[in-house]
Amino acid sequence: MYSDAEEEERADPLIGFVALAAVGVTCASLYFLFTRMILNKSTNTEPWERLDPSKPQKLVTINQKWRPIEELELMKSMTK
């Protein structure tokens, strides 16, 4: 049985590709297992939506006043 496998050299690349795919699947599953996944996006907002818009975020702000854009607020409420 083993002597047939030695003579069949075409199986070597196939075994290599299958082993490489197995290593890739193992690495991907370990990555997704140990990284933080956010499944509930409706209560977990994006980080930039948690900023206070009345507080300037730039180093220097000249003649700038914040006011909400009605269309944007409407779109935000429709997507949530």
Query: pLDDT at position 29, please?
Result: 93
Taking 60 as the threshold, does the pLDDT of residue 9 lie above it? yes
Q: Which pLDDT band holds residue 3 (cuts at 50, 70, 90)?
A: low
In tens, the pLDDT along 16-75 reads 999 999 999 999 999 988 887 777 667 777 777 788 877 777 777 677 777 888 998 898
Taking 60 as the threshold, does the pLDDT of residue 1 lie above it? no
Query: pLDDT at position 36, please?
Result: 79
| Residues 60, 80: Cα–Cα separation, whole Å | 33
Can you give the chain as a three-state secondary structure string?
Answer: CHHHHHHCCCHHHHHHHHHHHHHHHHHHHHHHHHCCCCCCCCCCCCHHHHCCCCCCCCCCCCCCCCCCCHHHHHHHHHHC
